[in-house]
Structure 1
Amino acid sequence: MSEKSIWKPFWSFHIQSTERWIEEMAKKGYTLSRFQPKLSRFTFTEEASSHETFAISFDRSRQHPLPKALEADGWEVVNKQGKWAIYGNGKQKEEVKTSIVRDNLESRNSRIAILWWIYFLYIIFSISLQVTLLLPLYLHMDPDTVTRVESPMWIFTYIMFIVQIVVTLIGIYSLIALKKESRRLSEERNQSQTLFHSEEKPIVLLGKRRKKLKLGWNYSPDKFEKWLEEQERSGWHLTQVKKGGVLFQFQKSDTKLYSYCILFEGRADSNAHSFHSEAGWERVYVSGASWQQWSIWRQAYSEGAEKPKINDDPETKRKAAMRVTKIHTLMFAPIILIFGFNFFSFMLPDALEQGYFSLSGIERFNTTVYPLVMFIFFTNILRAWAYYFRVRTQ
């Protein structure tokens, strides 16, 4: 029997098309015999396949359990390597009644997207810093004083520049592919229930109303939940959250008891949202980002009744708080380090030596703005960690 090995880069960003490709290979008389996900290599043996339909799953636990319902429907593991597994079914796709769960796959794609966004944030801030630091020098420097020294080490500079361009292009492609893949996987779930979006369907206001601007509530969601509940007890009912999630609109009403819950999901999860809605929770806001999604939920309850909670498991709440803390730390800490290096190495010494008002306009602007930005980002990191430790000690 002959073998055919095929290299298929970025296959994991196109799961459904990869599955169809394996099915087409099976129809041509090739059976998948070896699967190397890290090398993006698929090896086929020229023999009739016993499967008509294929599905690919991702499981961080590497266990790849197969529920009895799926076994009864004809699914079985064809090949598995590490966190990846390929399942096969002997029936035609139209005859298959069950499907492989994709939740872990969507979580994995979401984490990859986050890493790429962090990379692009580094690139943007790096370029911005170089422009703000070097542009004043070029504007005030005599061109004749700039000389280029030939050195064999320049080759490494050129190589690193080319590598950075290639990595950036791969990152752009990955983000576009992951966004499309997220849409395809979302459509695959065939969501049966359309959730209510209060930010898109504002309530008609008849009485007295007011608006509150709340910035950075996602760094201390537990405190913000209590603040929203206090507004309800004070007779101010939340009616709308403007797009962006920072402007909250309230209407004067009778005093009510509401339990508010703020969830950070890391990625959009319509199945979880459907579950919460069926449990009696009303979603009043959901952020637009699919890779870092926040949602605000509430449920009314009567005096003397137990306050409802979406999640009362301490370990789950602790892990969710740690995710919030890690993401904001990874986002802001590198920016603080870059800004701090430039400020304390260049800007502050010049300001102390020449005097603040002796600096040029752009130099005074940078000397003022840099510590302010560092203070804001550092404060946000501290607020996120304080939130984690509050949840941990509950």
Structure 2
Amino acid sequence: MSYTHFWKPFWSYHIQSTEHWVGEMSKKGYTLTHFQPKLSRFTFSEEASPHETFAISFDRSKQHPLPKALEADGWEVVNKKRKWAVYGNTKQKDEVKTSIVRDNLESRNSKISMFWWAYFLYMIFSISLQASLLIPLYLSNDSFTVTRVESPMWILTYFMAAVQMGVTIIGIYSLIALKKESRRLSEEVTQSQLLEDSTDKPVTLSGERRTKFKVGWMYAPDKIETWLEEKEQSGWHLIHVNKGGVKFQFERSDKNLYAYSVLFEGRADRNAHAFHSEAGWERVYVSGSSWQQWSIWRQAYSEEMEKPEINDDLESKQRAAMSVAKIYTLMFSPIIVLFGFNFFSFMLPNALEQGYFSLSGIERFNTTIFPLAMSVFLISILRAWAYYFRVRS
């Protein structure tokens, strides 16, 4: 029996395409006999496959359990290798009623995205630190001499530069591919629920619209909840939130009672979203990030009813608020340190020595904008911690 080998780099970033490709190979008379996930190597034998539909899953436990409902629907394990498994079904895709769970796969993709974001943040921080040391020297009125020293290991230097460039390109590709893959996996399970008409309480709209901008509401989610509820009570119904989460569009309506809830999730969790929807909550916004996701939910209620809460567990609320405070502290603190080092070491002494208005235009701009930027980031951190202490009290 002859075997055919294929190398498919980044196949795990395109799960559905890989599944379709395995299915097409099956139609051509090839059966998947072996695959090496880490090496992106797939091996097929030239024999007819009984399966028509394929699915690939990722399981950290390496057990790959198959629920009875999936077995009854015709699913079986075709091939598995450590955390990865390929499932096959003898039915056509449109005849299959169940699907393989993707939760672990999404978690794995989110961790890879976080790794690449950390890499790029490190690169930005490193470049910014070097720039903060060189720019003041360049802008200084003092004369200096630059001496270029040829490296005795110039081959190694160029090689490492090429490697870093290659890694950066792979990182950019990975982030783009994983973002698209996250969108495809989301669409696979459920259609978008953004701003569907509420089934709890009909809303009569007048056509008169108003737009409001809210920047930085993530640092104080409880306040945006109160603001949105007050808008509903004053006769303005939320109909759209832009992808960036800063532009809120309202339309004039009857005065209604709506409970709003803003949720922060460490990573995208479609199961939790489905649970909230089944409980009668309507999702009106979800951020695009899969590893730091924000969502806004609402539910109509009447004066005779108690105001609903999407989560009445105080301990879990406190954990979520602590996560918000920690994440923004870790994100913004290095920026404050970098800007502060640059400002207090170079800009401020220079301004005090020469006088603010004696500086060049770019020096005056930097001397003004750096403390403003530090203040904005510091205020954001303080707002996040203030939110935590409000939840804890």
- What is the TM-score normalised by the length of structure 2? 0.77
Does the CA contact (< 8 Å) of 2:262 and 2:295 recur in 1? Answer: yes
Instruction: Count matched residues.
Output: 386
- The 1:32–1:388 alpha-carbon spacing in structure 2 relative to 1, beyond 3 Å, is farther
Equivalent residue runs for 1:212-231 within 5 Å = 213-230=213-230
- The 1:226–1:87 alpha-carbon spacing in structure 2 relative to 1, beyond 3 Å, is same
Q: 2:200 aligns to what?
A: none
Q: 1:196 aligns to what?
A: 195
Q: 2:161 aligns to what?
A: 161
Cα displacement string for residues 165-213 of structure 1 (whole angstroms, at most 9, x for unaligned residues): 112211222233223323433443363x764369xxx95356xx97654
Q: 1:371 aligns to what?
A: 371
- The 1:88–1:250 alpha-carbon spacing in structure 2 relative to 1, beyond 3 Å, is closer
How far did residue 10 of structure 1 move? 0.7
Does the CA contact (< 8 Å) of 1:282 and 1:298 recur in 2? Answer: yes
Q: What amino acid is the match of 1:204?
A: S
**Matched position secondary structure for 1:305:** coil
**Matched position secondary structure for 2:297:** strand
* Structure 2 Cα separation of the partners of residues 156 and 359 of structure 1: 42
Q: 1:17 aligns to what?
A: 17
Q: 2:33 aligns to what?
A: 32
* Structure 2 Cα separation of the partners of residues 378 and 60 of structure 1: 39
How far did residue 371 of structure 1 move? 2.9
- The 1:83–1:262 alpha-carbon spacing in structure 2 relative to 1, beyond 3 Å, is farther
* Structure 1 Cα separation of the partners of residues 288 and 175 of structure 2: 16
Equivalent residue runs for 1:126-165 within 5 Å = 127=127, 134=134, 137-138=137-138, 145-152=145-152, 154-165=154-165
- What is the TM-score normalised by the length of structure 1? 0.77
- The 1:91–1:296 alpha-carbon spacing in structure 2 relative to 1, beyond 3 Å, is closer
**Matched position secondary structure for 1:145:** coil
How far did residue 113 of structure 1 move? 3.4
- The 1:308–1:120 alpha-carbon spacing in structure 2 relative to 1, beyond 3 Å, is same
* Structure 2 Cα separation of the partners of residues 112 and 72 of structure 1: 34
How far did residue 56 of structure 1 move? 0.9
For structure 2, which runs of at least 5 residues remain unmatched after alignment? Answer: 198-203
**Matched position secondary structure for 1:294:** strand
Q: 1:85 aligns to what?
A: 85
Does the CA contact (< 8 Å) of 2:267 and 2:291 recur in 1? Answer: yes
- The 1:190–1:236 alpha-carbon spacing in structure 2 relative to 1, beyond 3 Å, is closer
Q: 2:97 aligns to what?
A: 97
**Matched position secondary structure for 1:64:** coil
How far did residue 109 of structure 1 move? 2.8
- The 1:142–1:163 alpha-carbon spacing in structure 2 relative to 1, beyond 3 Å, is farther
Q: What amino acid is the match of 1:32?
A: T
Cα displacement string for residues 129-179 of structure 1 (whole angstroms, at most 9, x for unaligned residues): 656764564466799932211232555543442222112211222233223
* Structure 2 Cα separation of the partners of residues 366 and 66 of structure 1: 60
- The 1:19–1:203 alpha-carbon spacing in structure 2 relative to 1, beyond 3 Å, is same
- The 1:120–1:236 alpha-carbon spacing in structure 2 relative to 1, beyond 3 Å, is farther
* Structure 2 Cα separation of the partners of residues 315 and 59 of structure 1: 29
Q: 2:302 aligns to what?
A: 302
**Matched position secondary structure for 2:309:** coil
Equivalent residue runs for 1:203-352 within 5 Å = 203-204=205-206, 213-230=213-230, 232=232, 235=234, 237-240=236-239, 243=242, 244-248=244-248, 256-265=256-265, 276-277=276-277, 279-287=279-287, 292-314=292-314, 316-318=316-318, 320-321=320-321, 323-325=323-325, 327-351=327-351
How far did residue 71 of structure 1 move? 1.2
**Matched position secondary structure for 1:148:** coil
* Structure 1 Cα separation of the partners of residues 355 and 82 of structure 2: 61
How far did residue 69 of structure 1 move? 0.9
